[in-house]
A and B are shown apart, each in its own frame.
Chain A
Amino acid sequence: MAATIKVVHRPELTFWEKLYIPQILCGLKITFRHFFRNLFLHIAHRVGRLTHLRASATIQYPEELRPLMSRHRSRHRLTVREDGSPRCVGCMLCETVCPAKCITIVPGEHPDPHVEKYPIRFDIDLGVCVYCGYCVEVCPEDAIRMDTGILNLAAYSREAMQLDIHELMDPELEKPIVDCSLKFPHQCKVSGEAMKGSWDGVEAS
């Protein structure tokens, strides 16, 4: 097989390009255009004019948030039923599919005979999570979603990155959780300062 030879012709520079000075002026023209356009627009924005034209691509982050795509995968949440109890039935599919092994579920028997199980514990270690979204896709009950829009996931300790079922069901909650209005088949107990994921009086099946 004959080798295909592709000849790349380097573009010859014209005299004016070799002289370089006209090219510098071309570059300066571009930067000056951006400079004066943006300067004019910034001043116009200050007096409330021409606000439909953007002067900068900057998004002032903490005050101004970038619009997220509807499919964007942000922090997880556990969806709830109408009575406020978790939709999760403890089937362990998400824990099984998770490639990062960041989900820990302890299922327990549900008082309602139509519902087989419910999660006593449902912990996600966000320090390990890779945000692949497999847990959302695999869930048969639409019990876990990644649509909270929470992006500022940062903490001073590894422990604080581990979310328990309270925080997953109510994205407003932050550690330490000392009070909980979520509905469970069991009672939430405060142990020490924080509310723990394992509860007295409930036996794992």
Chain B
Amino acid sequence: MMEFLLVKLVLVGIVLFGVLNFAGFHTWVERKQSALIQDRIGANRADIFGFRLLGLFHGIADAIKMFTKEDIVPEGANKTLHLLAPLFSVFFALVAFATIPFGPPLILAGHPPIELQVANIDAALLYVFAMLSLGVYGVILAGFASRNNYAIMGGLRATAQMISYEIALGIAVIGVIMVYGTMDLSLLVQRQGEMIGGWIPFWGIVVQPVAFVVFLTAALAETKRAPFDLPEAESEIIGYFVEYSGMKFGMFFLTDFLETIIVACLATTLFFGGWQVPWLMADGFHFPWPWGGVLPVANWVYVLLGVMSFSIKVVVFCFVFMQIRWTLPRFRYDQLMALGWKGLFPIAVVNVVVTAVVLVFFGEPSWPQQ
């Protein structure tokens, strides 16, 4: 029991450390990537002992600024909810990471295999979606508790947007669940390690490309960043966090980045084989037909390659999300609703129907017994 707790605590530590640092790093990426896209240099002035390091210290400077700023609570605000809202946002965004498997099982001599996943839940996918949905309560509460018309407008927009897009998101994922026959994310990733015809990885993107496009669009809307940043919309209503200052505002900002990362993690897990490396099985590389042969690797190499594969995929997804965020302008509100209800929702439903028909006629894929 003690060992189990210790392992889980270490895993929690690793996930929190990695995710929070990556979110902090995101502020730097956002600044520099947008700068490069727009032919600028980007923030590069903060220095420690004269070392600027391409502006990496701006994240630290931001944190110091946010922590030392005056915390203003509006007079008419509901003090309790006003305080709770940012905590809700960050909490649910962080908790959602618990079920993401980030590496293959690690085998240490004399111990049972350690799943590189904080919580191995049967219905992990439902859990992630539940946490993402609860995250929107932070936004609504922020709008509601601030007693500011613009803030509540942002909160309402967030609500409508979340409801519209979560439906498309959920239905897009149903196709994936049908193909792999499980909602357990760790099992789902294992099953993506199979091969079609011995050389095409059985990843979600290969068997469910339409679901991937719908998922990606809806997931972008879920992160509340451009082109779906209507709850914020800094040029029209400042957004749900207009009455927040200091670190409370910083927590909303952090949530934005955390949601980007969780969505990147989900896209990786569901559609890009999670920690799977193409042709890498537990016992080594199985090269496809033209070359053939097996290159055995040790378990720790296997785990290391898996974790690296997962991290690289997540980073690439974050990069692409950032690129989209700095490419597309904001949707109009009616366009947003039309895209969600008239575009993504029917496509997702048709995708589920087609998947079902194909599965019935060609038979469900058979999986090796656990």
Which positions in A face B, CB cutoff 8 Å? 21, 24, 27-28, 30-32, 34-35, 38-39, 42, 55-58, 60
Contacts and interface: CB of A to CB of B under 8 A. Distances in A.
Contact of A24 (B38, B41, B328): B328
Interface stretch (B136-144, B182-190, B294-302, B319-327): B319-327
A100 B213 CA distance: 62
Contacts of A42: 36
B65 interface: no
Given A24-B324, A32-B323, A38 B39 contact: yes
Nearest to A42: B36
Contacts of A39: 36
Contact of A35 (B213, B323, B324): B323
B35 interface: yes
B88 to A, nearest CB: 32
B40 interface: yes
Given A27-B327, A28-B324, A31-B326, A60 B37 contact: no
Contact of B37 (A24, A34, A57, A58): A34
Given A24-B328, A27-B328, A35-B33, A56 B40 contact: yes
A42 B33 CA distance: 13
> Chain A: interface secondary structure?
helix
Interface residues of B, number: 14
Interface of B: 33, 35-41, 213, 323-324, 326-328
A24 B33 CA distance: 18
A165 B328 CA distance: 55
Contacts of A32: 323
B41 A34 contact: no
A27 B35 CA distance: 16
A162 to B, nearest CB: 32
Contacts of B38: 34
Contacts of A55: 39
A21 B209 CA distance: 14
A96 B40 CA distance: 45
Contacts of B328: 24, 27
Contacts of A58: 40-41
B332 to A, nearest CB: 13
B40 A57 contact: yes
A28 B37 CA distance: 10
Given A27-B327, A28-B323, A28-B324, A60 B36 contact: no
B178 to A, nearest CB: 24
A35 B41 contact: no
Contacts of A27: 327-328
B39 A28 contact: no
A125 B324 CA distance: 50
A39 B39 CA distance: 10
The 4 residue pairs across chains A and B that have the minimum distance between CB atoms: A58-B41, A38-B36, A27-B327, A31-B327
Nearest to A21: B213
Given A24-B328, A27-B328, A34-B36, A60 B323 contact: no
